[in-house]
Chain A
Amino acid sequence: MNQPTVSPPKAPVAPIQWMRNNLFNTWYNSLLTLAVGYLLVTSAAPLLNWVFLDATFSGESPSDCVGEGACWLFINQRLNFFIYGFYPEDQQWRINLMFGLLALSFIPQFIEGFPARRWLGIFGMTGLPILGYILIPGGSFGLESVPSHRWGGLMLTLILAYVGIFAALPIGILLALGRRSHMPVIRGFCVVFIEVWRAVPLITVLFMASVMLPLFLPEGMNFEKLLRALIGITLWQSAYMAEVVRGGLQAIPRGQYEAASALGLGYWKKMGLIILPQALKLVIPGIVNTFIALFKDTTLVLIIGLFDVLGAVQSTVTDPAWQNVAIEGYVFVAFCFWVFCFGMSRYSQNLERKLDTGHRT
């Protein structure tokens, strides 16, 4: 589409004129506006009352929740469990430190021109997991050991999503290269692997990881449940990642491959130095989108008995001490996920728009 580079200045529009143009331009639009507007106004007032005006925010015990409104006191009292699971309270500084470092390495990626942005990102992908591997389970450097069955809540959700995405990335890249390979055997294996994993639902993968993985391993070798789930999620995610990366590889013009070969670069140097840096930059939005999907899908681990943030809430809303707090619990979890996923999707849309102006063939 050929659009003029500078759009004409917008004439100021009076509110009445704006309404006439956008809300009441035809008779059926006027009817729709009135009907929808009526519904919105009548449902907004009770909703506001429930969320804010009649809600209970503070108190000591479940009996303080007497009003008609939401019982946010429940969230308030259980917040620690929702974030850390059964992680011992005097050790939670370790998790807080990891949260802080995670935010420090990835939030600057959203901000244009943040100092040392690249180094922070590299730290987030290399130093951070090593530090997490030492800090979160403990047991070394004089840290108290916290077994994985005590991990839970938001922190477990973040661990699952982080490991799922960054462990799947290298496997996915290899699979994508394999699928574009000229060797029929390698290509065949990669296609079968990718298509099979993409066809089955994550639940069956998690079931398989928790029920069948012990059968596959030699006698005496066994992992804990969390590690099994992580292996399942990583393999499943790597198939999706492979397809995203393949899209990027396909978008690189042929001339780049040929130029690299003409320079005398071997396969791995050609891929590592010329093709992948360009392809991966192109598919960052796709990777972010897969990450959003994975982040939402981590909730499924509650089915095999891990307490992620939804699992933690689900196990407490059935607590008989609290009456009918299911909606409050769900709203809390929904809000956590929504803020994160919405932010990420906005980021990926912006990035897509920015990358779109680049060279195209």
Chain B
Amino acid sequence: MSETTSQITPARAKPWNDPRVRSLVFQLVAIAGVMWGGWTLVDNTLANMEARGISTGFGFLEQSAGFGIIMSLIPYEATDSYGRTFWVGLLNTLLVSGLGIVAATLLGFMIGVARLSSNWLIAKLSLAYIEIIRNIPLLLQIFFWYFAVLRNLPSPRQSVELGGLFFLNNRGFYLPDPIALPGFGWVELALAIAIASVIALRIWAKRRQQATGQIFPTGKVSLAILVTLPVLAFLATGAPLDWTVPELRGFNFRGGITIIPELAALWVALSLYTASFIAEIVRSGILSVSKGQTEAARALGLRQGLTLRLVVIPQAMRVIIPPLTSQYLNLVKNSSLATAIGYPDLVSVFMGTTLNQTGQAVEVVAMTMAVYLTISLLISFVMNLYNRAVALKER
């Protein structure tokens, strides 16, 4: 007996059949392949750039750009450096993305809720909106707003006017610009104090409620503090704010804030398009909260509004947040379509004009891609933090 068992010692696997050896070999081959591919690319690129007389390195960022940009959030002159064009483009991208995210979220939540309305007309109208807008390419919608709508507005002399303060024409939308006079700092200080005290109040109210069960009307008191303090400071310092009102001089308006049509078209199109996706996300999020939750909340005696705020929305948010994050990321990436209508965003200014003028393709493209990668990682990081905070706490 013992003889026979000792004879069947398991045969040692041949090295090429040993999974560990194989996986090691595969990985080494993969590293070698990627390194070889990368080295070939770098080698080819360097050779090609030398053949075309393109210098390498980031020295070009210091050179004078020599082209104008129609819109800039920071002071910019044509004599400024290429490095500055990068920041101008980046800020413009962030501006339109930020505006778009806010508008798309508001509109998307409204339409998503309207889609579930008990009013047949409203529900069907929201459905029609969603199905039409999200099945039409975004670029086409941007073109529509820019070339078909905003370009066909009246000329500056026949502007649509609102109270002599707001003007709308084919050169843009003009509104009064506030100018802070000395003493406005006090108002800002008052606002900061108000915000700090509201936060303190919330913490105190929550503690008190947990200790005693008494509910403090936090919302109303917060609102009162936020409004009264700055207003009082504003009046006490003698209203230190001036407005420059846009005026028609020559062929165009001067003064005030101008929203150029490129920005307006991009903003409207991005918001409307993304809102249609957000609406579907919101709808499925709300539907995912089972009916028993609502009924249980009502049985506990919570009113309709409180049921929504304390029971339905927090649970729906768990389902809504992950896809909402990817919609925000999409919006930021889609804002690069600006280049098709000439809004000076990062891609249009830096990857367009700067790249064409300097020919430094590798550096410019790498910087642009790095920006989008950073924004992407940042938004997903923040949303993941939030998601972790609202996720189901399983014990």
Contacts and interface: CB of A to CB of B under 8 A. Distances in A.
B27 A212 contact: no
A300 interface: yes
Contact of A296 (B27, B138, B148): B138
Contacts of B120: 22-23
Sort chain B's interface into a size bin.
35 or more
B382 interface: no
A343 to B, nearest CB: 9
Given A33-B121, A212-B365, A216-B45, A333 B140 contact: yes
A181 B27 CA distance: 11
A216 B41 contact: yes
A44 B120 CA distance: 18
Nearest to A190: B30
A199 interface: yes
B207 to A, nearest CB: 38
A297 interface: yes
A185 B365 contact: no
A29 B118 contact: yes
A351 interface: no
B22 to A, nearest CB: 9
A297 B334 CA distance: 10
A300 B337 contact: yes
Contacts of A218: 44, 47
A326 B147 contact: yes
A345 B49 CA distance: 46
A342 B373 contact: no
B81 interface: no
Nearest to B334: A201
B44 A299 contact: no
A199 B139 contact: no
Interface in A288-341: 292, 296-297, 299-300, 302-303, 310, 314, 317, 324, 326-327, 330, 333-334, 337-338, 341
B373 A196 contact: yes
B242 interface: no
Interface in A211-231: 211-212, 214-219
Contacts of A342: 131, 135
A232 to B, nearest CB: 12
A40 B27 CA distance: 64
A337 B143 CA distance: 15
Interface residues of A, number: 55
Given A186-B27, A199-B377, A204 B351 contact: yes
Nearest to A37: B121
Interface string B30-58: 11001000000100110111010000000
A198 B373 CA distance: 9
Contacts of A345: 135
B290 A1 contact: yes
B184 interface: no
A106 interface: no
B136 interface: yes
A326 B118 CA distance: 38
B125 interface: yes
B122 interface: yes
A338 B122 CA distance: 22
A32 interface: yes
B296 to A, nearest CB: 15
A338 B51 contact: no
Contacts of B245: none
B44 A303 contact: no
Given A201-B372, A330-B148, A296 B347 contact: no
Contact of B336 (A184, A199, A203): A203
Contacts of B51: 219
A309 to B, nearest CB: 10
A296 B141 CA distance: 11
A36 interface: yes
Contacts of A40: 125
A12 B170 CA distance: 54
Given A23-B121, A185-B30, A302-B340, A201 B333 contact: yes
A186 B28 CA distance: 10
Contacts of B147: 317, 326, 330
A215 B47 CA distance: 9
A99 interface: no
A310 B23 contact: no
Contacts of B376: 198-199
A6 interface: no
B213 interface: no
Given A23-B119, A310-B143, A338 B132 contact: yes
A327 B372 CA distance: 33
B386 interface: no
A217 B42 CA distance: 10
Nearest to A1: B290
Interface in B1-46: 23, 26-27, 30-31, 34, 41, 44-45
A126 interface: no
A245 B125 CA distance: 35
Contact of A203 (B41, B148, B151, B339): B339
Contact of A183 (B23, B337, B339): B23
B369 interface: yes
B143 A314 contact: yes
Given A182-B23, A185-B30, A201 B119 contact: no
Contacts of B148: 326-327, 330
Contact of B362 (A207, A212, A317): A212
Given A199-B377, A215-B45, A326-B147, A299 B140 contact: yes
Given A25-B118, A36-B121, A337-B137, 20 more contacts: A29-B117, A37-B121, A40-B125, A182-B23, A183-B30, A196-B369, A198-B376, A199-B329, A201-B347, A203-B336, A203-B339, A207-B351, A207-B355, A211-B365, A216-B44, A219-B51, A297-B137, A310-B137, A327-B144, A334-B144
13 contacts: A185-B27, A199-B377, A201-B372, A204-B351, A204-B365, A207-B355, A207-B365, A208-B365, A215-B362, A327-B144, A327-B148, A334-B140, A345-B135
- Ordered nearest first, which 6 A-B pairs have the shortest CB separation? A22-B120, A341-B135, A199-B376, A201-B333, A185-B27, A296-B137
